[in-house]
Chain A
Amino acid sequence: MGSPASSFDLLDPALQRWVIRQGWEELRGIQTDAISAVAGGPSDVLLIASTASGKTEAAFLPLLSDYLAQAQTRGFFAIYVAPLKALIDDQFERLTSMGEEFDLPVHRSHGDVSQSARQRFLENPGGVLLITPESLEALLARRGNQIVDFFPALHYVVIDEVHAFMGTERGVQLLSLLQRISYETKHRARRVGLSATVGKPESAAMFLAGGEPSSVVLVQEAPQPTRLDLSFRTHHYGPQEKMERALSEIAVTLFRDLYTTDNLVFANSRANVELLTSELSGLCVQHNLPNHFFPHHANLSTRSRRDAEDELRDATEPTTVICTSTLELGVDIGNVQSVAQIGPPPSANSLRQRLGRSGRRGEPAVLRYHVPVHESDSIDPVEQLSLSLLQSVASLVLVMNHHYESAPQNLMSYSTLVQQVLSFVAQRGGATLCEMFNVFSGPGAFPTLTLVDLEDLIKGLCAHDLLDQSNGEFVVGEHGERELGNFRFYAAFTAEPEWTLVTVTGVIGTFAPPQLPRIGQRILFGGRNFRVRLVDATRHRVELESVAAGGIAPYGGLPVNVSTLVRQQMLRLLETEDSFSWLDSSGQSLLRRAREQWRAAGFDSHALREVGGDTQYVPWVGTACFNTVTSLLRREGISFRIDGISLWFSGLSISEVRQRITSLLNTIPEMSDELMPFLDPDVVVPEKWEWCLPERLAQTSQAQRCLDLPGALLALSSLVTP
């Protein structure tokens, strides 16, 4: 890579002067490398570094340099895409400052940007546009005929938080939008991706380049060792008790430890967020102190969430925000003094991200891990393994060894394709099958799309009046017009189905109650207790009044997924003797006991054991894989019972089980689609547009999301090999 001095020379002279004026003595490593990478050739560039590493400048310095060297033409020179409006606002501040120096117009567009600000860049497109995928979608769908005005000279697309886009519907949407732009302008802009340091760089490169990872130039910050101050405490609750009891205990500790500083508490579920916040603010009231604890999750109103974020940013008052994964990502709230994790995190990846939120400049990250552990009085030894403790420890051990889950590859999101097809047709006023195939197929958003599939999909859309056929072209149908008119159209993901919650102060949030809300029902929301005063079923509106106590958090459980990586690590913990100095004494003894239990239980090396004529099998695989195994068993007609993480085959001995599985392995389906009829429907969370997909494609889509056929086959094969 280039040396700092020579990279500096690669910059436009005006930019060089600017850099010197900033008072920077030298360019940081990642900035130097970024400049060389961008100047060195036409390929895409991926910058991987931690936050506050100067990533933004690293991307924009070479871009700006290029801009200064070009003659000004009409249209945007670069677009910058980020997943969060707040992130765009932050970058807008920074870039405007740089932009003023160089006569580079800087614009932004997202849901909260005023019409007049948007008018300005619509009339005079130029410079850099900072935008969310949804806003870009709206731009293309609504102003399709202006694309040639906006993007003829598009040189660069900067994608921030690449790791947050990979493997998600939003990421697919983004890639598709970029493909549509290239299609209209007949050239492909260079992509510069910015990513945090997690996971496998190759997956991020794959995403960025749309399938040609080797063509991407990787610029990676020299990895710094992570220093972490760790406190790990277990909290028991008895066999008959509920987890709420452990949460109360945890709340007391958190109150004492967190009151005077800024912190984030990740409580995993919305219900836990509400419970903890309620306990913590209650403790403040009890001690006659002002409240420093605020909730943050997807159902709270935008205003409540922004208020909590602002409190965190405010240096004058300490603030602790209790959240789900909503605050895992890059919004600039500064770094907090410590992060608390309650129970096991959703994944190792997730834990790594959360850690990174603490630790101010030069200081180690601080993690307070509090794990509620259920003491079971079941005779089944697997129930006595303190699984939540194992999972928590396993996640942490994985992070310490830099092992993370891989992002799903080749995600074929037909639901997103529906949205894109509708949007594309709207953009052009009408499109032929051939045009649509040309724009959407190939490496990128929909790599495995075939003409037949596209045709079937479009037929399905016509059947629902979303599209109409006329003169060999497809145009937007009546139903389609209604959908496009709805602002929710532009998001690729399902918005939460909602009732609006209203108090005297206004809208406080939305929720999707498991049943119709009743008057007099007490709910816990935003950390406060309310009673339902009025239910308006037609407008889906609930009016609330404050009460002192007694609210129940109104959330149904979404299925919680665990990865195979974590479950395998849990097994390894049981089978080895590794000890961990950071585990509290109660945790140490629980781990010791779990290992004893596991050994004493008599599972063989394949995790099978016979108990009174039945066979118990613990696959130690992730949720998707587990569901695939059960689907395969059902398809084969092998009867079984699920109990926690175990499968029970009643009346079968180990050798009989092996026989049945051997014959199962002789008739495996070619594609996981075939297993869909055997999958427990509760497990499937539908994607936004799945309802209008032809049956076949809906199944493929769901299978891809919910099943892991290769993994299941691997697990089952290992059962039968000696």
Chain B
Amino acid sequence: MANRVTIDPITRLEGHGKIEIFLKDDGSVDNVFFQVPELRGFEKFCEGRPVEEMPRITTRICGVCPEAHHAASAKACDAVYGITLPPTAAKLREFQYNAFYVGDHTTHFYALAGPDFVMGPDADPAVRNIIGVIGKVGADIGKEVIRTRLEAHEIAGMLGGKRIHSVGMIPGGMSKGLTSSEDHKRAVEICERFVEFAKFTIKIVDDIVLANKAYVDLILSDPYKLVVNDMGLVDENNHVNFYRGNVRVTDVNGKELHKYAPKDYLDVVGEHVEKWSYLKFPFLKQRGWTGFTEGTDTAVFRATPLSRLNAADGMATPLAQAEYERFYATLGGKPVHSTLATNWARVIELLFAAEAALQLIKDPDIIGEEHRVIPKNVPSEGVGIVEAPRGTLTHHYITDEKGIVQKANLIVGTTNNNGPIAMSIKKAAQGLIKAGAEITEPILNMVEMAFRAYDPCFGCATHSLPGQMPIEVILRDSTGKVLDRASRF
């Protein structure tokens, strides 16, 4: 291979993620590697910690989605002690979790993926960011986005003390109830606004993306298609749920392959190791590792907003269900394998999260007194699963009889998508970077769009407020000499 293109999309400095594209002599794409050069060792240093401290320790895996780890960890603790939560406790957790989703999905749509569609993938990079979106959609939208995030933090603080890295979810429920009528009133007010804001966001997708045939064609185009299996948490009706239920896996044709309770995750999910990335590659264990392949027999699966819609039969709330139906009607039926449709799926989930949060806060149980129970059983082993915004999140703890963690196994949201991200980038690069042609800024951005649709968390995606992760592409000859540089700053 003669040339190498290094894309260091998040930051060239810390390297939470790095893309290496190797070119053939004619300038077409030979191979692509997506590397994660980081390992923090939570699975080891959680050994020896009291299990009840895990919801307070594992939040620090991610400051962008701490509630996901907080909730998965608390659920794993419940399982370790064999506790069934009282309705008030369960609903308080699910409420906080949905409110968190609203803040998280909003940030991604407006600040990260949205600018590509609202402004256009080949727009001047100077306006292809949230500032540009504000210019096009209206000045108030920027304030609304920040406000939505802050109000999600406000609910986290109301229930969990800390607004970031909240502490309220404990084995057996919540450390405090929602007993202040003032807090309850405020929470209802916030959730009502969340629903209106989500509806407004759907309208933006309609007016700007779906009304433009070129965008719809782009979404459905081949370089952005990846035919792999889908994973997502579903409730008792096989509707999308973020906090509770079983995990469903559907094949490339939409047929159910697995539906498993959290405790059975090891029957379904395996993790493959490559020597060139610190991050492992999950796959469907019963198929064996099939390599980075797509198609009917692949063991690769995705766990994203798109896969959650694909793996479910519908949405549990009325407005989101209507959008769900329109989504598949517009994109040619179920399942959809177009990576860029993930961004639309995320907005439908935003609407669902807002509706679900509002339903839960209006549920009479939510202000109940019984917000926690004391564990009675001898602790042993438990698994907790939630849907993190970036994929199915599994926490598995084994403790001694005193509840001290002996072993911890974590399969983090984005990790599920490690293989698919690499494959999507490769496919986009192969489809868009042509032999002999110049690699232009819009082409680079369009390669990056394949990556950005996953909202990858190790990429510190939400760190990047202006919505454009700095990208630099370096063309080198076989001796490593720099031939050319292209950047999208």
A binds B: no
Q: Which residues of B contact A (CB under 8 A)?
A: none
